Chains A and B, each alone.
Chain A
Amino acid sequence: MSLRLNVNGREHAVAADPRTPLLYVLRNDLELNAAKYGCGLGQCGACTVVIDGVAVFSCITPIRLLEGRRITTLEGLGTAEKPGHLQQAFIELQAAQCGYCIAGMMMRAHALLTMNSNPSHAEIRTALQPNLCRCGTHMRIVAAVKRAGELLRGATAK
């Protein structure tokens, strides 16, 4: 059984049970590290990716629903050498401790910033509500999302 998935702008043929949650396909078949297994229950957001502009729990989304959809993971936003605006902002504000939740946080923030590049603190908190952080990095994460919005607006204004 093979499905075609569009991940970070590239088409992939995936040979997996169509019931397989996207998370396992991203991590194992496509060898993408960013999305993390946190709960498998859609309760923590460590697995968050963006599908057609919407932040989604990849741990509870079976791949059979995803043919023809555009899937974006953190790897699609930039690299350590050429970080995207969100990545730049998280590095600048050192918005991570253990970092396990961070990829999911950033994808949820990415969905927010795509809709609204100048969110208020309250809007950022509301958007990030589904995602958990255990190290207590929340204050820096909110600040980094705010900062990423500035970088994004600066880039689009040019």
Chain B
Amino acid sequence: MELTRRDFCLTGGALIVSFALVPRLLESADSPQLPGSLGRNPYLDSWIRIDAAGKVTVFTGKAELGQGIKTAIAQIAAEELDVAPAAIQLITADTALTVNEGYTAGSHSVQDSGTAVRNAAAQVREILIAAAAKRWHLDASQLRAQQGAVVALDGRSLGYGQLVADESLHVQAQPQSKLKASKDFAWIGKAVQRLDIPAKVTGGAAYVQDMRLPGMVHARVVRPPSFGATLAGVDLSQAESMPGVIKALRDGDFLAVVAKQEFQAVQAMQKLASSATWVENASLPSQAGLPSHLMALPAEDAVVIDQPRESDAAVSPGERSLEATFTRAYQCHASMGPSCAVAQLEGDSMTVWNHSQGVFPNRAALAELLAMPAEKIRGIHSEGAGCYGHNGADDVAADAALIARALPGVPVRVQWMREQEHVWEPFGPAMVSKVRATLDAQGSVTQWRYELWSNTHSTRPGPAASLLPARLLAHPFPPRPARVEITPEGSGDRNSIPLYDFPGKHVIWHFLKDMPLRVSALRSLGAYMNVFSIESFMDELAQAAGIDPVAFRLKHLKDPRAQDVVRLAAQKFGWAAQRAMPRNRGRGFAFARYKNLAAYCAVACEVSVEHESGTIRLVRAVAAVDSGEIVNPDGVRNQTEGGILQSISWTLYEAVKFNDRRIISTDWSTYPILRFASIPDSVEVHLIPRPGEAFLGAGEAAQGPAAAALANAAADALGFRLRDIPFTPDRVRAALNHSA
């Protein structure tokens, strides 16, 4: 069978593909107009292939993180190709098979990969139709695609498999595609059930943790007790003499054990840890004084926006200014499954299976770490537990690769222990924000000044130094200095510019280069804290102006789609009807458009407060979301519901605790998160369909609005405002005592 110029064969259900990577020059300015990620690789067969039997394989450089992206991408391809989503084989991020789409992050998967797959699928369909037209000597306009075949008006039909054999898909995509109209959709916009859920609810192999390669051995690492601790001495022989132990390794401060059975590795790890002596430094700031410590660190100031008020800058009569400061603790990704990877060195080639959000960038980091050519390393995304950003996934891949290098030929599975995951993952950065705004006599905001203090929100690979084990080696890769960069999507400054129509807007990021604790991307980056701050302060301004909070937002919003989600959330919540709240109850509202360019999300909620214990509980939440053209409404709902509950957990409970040397939040008892006893009575998500509009990433849109709506509802119930995340019972009680 000749499918494309590349070798492509199916053997026993396993897909084996080899092809030379497209030269980088094709990714350059030659094809700037291609939609979505097509610009990263314009060849249609990099995205879609069809074998002689008509089986469709779709390739995406994005990864399933539990957000449902496999199903959404399959729906999109199915739509334009006229096949069923379940009939599509989907290959996700794999450095040997898929296009390099960078990280699966920032709610970009449907926007970028989905758009690429959609356009590629539409162009493939037209190529197949053209092939049939040529074969039948008919005009293409008389033909249509239907259920994996091209059919003519007279009923003649040719399966895709019969057509692709004489029409190569190894052609470059065109900037324009003949996309289906929304009214004709069979799959996009449908609540198709997730393709991965049946295996996950029946014990099917679904995760990297479930991999069992022939001859596979189990490894565990021993980490230092604290950041910057150095190993003074260790006795490898004690661990090596234990039953089943194959090897104990030391390279500088990097320690690991390998055993035949997993529990043997765990026991040997404990023995190795107890034989190690470490020298620790008291290098961490005081937790209680963290906000002032951050504000006192040397900062590089970056202007996010400087939009002077056009009219006379002088304050007009009747204007008044308000000011407030907000803080946020370091927070954990806290994946349910500790990070895990499998690696195997075969000859001069290393294969690493792990749950990295970016197998391509991580391959570059591993290549530098191992001093191997990148093309000799294959990174294969294999699902882990939900990560919600940059957790230990890349680090554990490095652990596995370092250990596998010491055991040539042997597949090595490494899983972190719970304590290692909590202590060594890069945290969501602690932040401080300070906002000052001016209200005129009509209750309109005229000036807005916002400052934030924060580290970078991405220390992802690329460089080997981004990998935790690389810093522990005898010849370490020291961390590279972080650089501040102001981009449309933002980092720590994400969503720091209010979408509201304020005449004067001034936003500064006091960028902190020093990282007291290791940090990186946590779902929504700075948007969570910035939206919390902005939307909390909007309520303070509304109150000062004597205007209803929803009306106050609408008064300052020009974007009609923003107005629509605000109105819908308010209406479905019953905002206008429910003025008076029962005692110890409060209601709150918040809105943001994620990154100011992705999905719109408004949240209204009700909370209850228990004064004696200082406990706040979300009673109910109502969200409205506009994510443009909706691929899978149930997927958007599931992500939004989850985003709300996760954000509530962050906001009510979560702070990484530390003393002057160590992280002391080491497990679920020292880092509590939301449990079932505290979940709301109901969460509703209402979607605004936008047929024909672009896809807008929705996976992180709820994080900021949910936190701010909760804060506003808590303020309504308490009669005073909580400005420091998390709103723990201790803090609430202290504030109650202070106010009483």
Contact = CB atoms under 8 A, between A and B. Distances in A.
B481 interface: no
B491 to A, nearest CB: 23
Contacts of B152: none
Contact of B197 (A40, A90, A135): A90
Contacts of B680: 139
Question: Which 7 pairs between the two chains have the least Cβ-Cβ distance?
Answer: A98-B66, A136-B645, A98-B386, A34-B203, A99-B200, A136-B642, A100-B385
Given A44-B668, A87-B198, 5 more contacts: A39-B668, A80-B204, A91-B201, A99-B206, A124-B676
A80 B198 contact: yes
Interface of A: 16-17, 20-21, 24, 27-28, 31-34, 36-41, 43-44, 46, 73-75, 77-80, 83, 86-87, 90-91, 94, 96-103, 106, 124-126, 128-129, 131-140, 142
B176 interface: no
Determine the main DSSP class of A at the interface with B.
loop
B646 interface: yes
A91 B675 contact: no
A134 B388 contact: yes
B285 interface: no
A135 B386 contact: yes
A96 B202 contact: no
B652 to A, nearest CB: 13
Contacts of A94: 193-194, 197, 634, 638
A46 B676 contact: no
B418 A96 contact: no
Interface string B179-204: 00000000000000110111111111
A91 B193 contact: yes
A157 to B, nearest CB: 24
B576 interface: no
A87 B201 contact: yes
A132 B197 contact: no
Nearest to B648: A136
B262 A28 contact: yes
Interface of B: 65-68, 193-194, 196-207, 209-210, 212, 243, 261-264, 266, 334-338, 383-386, 388, 415, 417-418, 634, 638-639, 641-646, 649, 667-669, 673-677, 679-680, 682-683
A79 B210 CA distance: 17
B262 A27 contact: yes
23 contacts: A24-B262, A28-B262, A34-B203, A37-B209, A37-B337, A38-B337, A78-B202, A87-B198, A90-B201, A91-B197, A91-B201, A94-B197, A97-B66, A98-B384, A102-B201, A125-B676, A129-B675, A132-B673, A134-B385, A134-B646, A134-B673, A136-B649, A138-B679
Given A36-B209, A39-B667, A100 B203 contact: no
A67 B204 CA distance: 26
Contact of A131 (B204, B676, B682): B676
B336 A43 contact: no
B638 A132 contact: no
A78 B204 CA distance: 11
A91 B386 CA distance: 18
B435 to A, nearest CB: 28
B193 A100 contact: no
Nearest to B67: A97
Contact of A100 (B197, B386, B669, B674): B386
A123 B681 CA distance: 13
B674 A138 contact: yes
Contact of B336 (A17, A44, A79): A44
A37 B683 CA distance: 29
Nearest to B668: A43
B336 A101 contact: yes
Contacts of B202: 34, 74-75, 77-80, 83, 87
B533 to A, nearest CB: 22
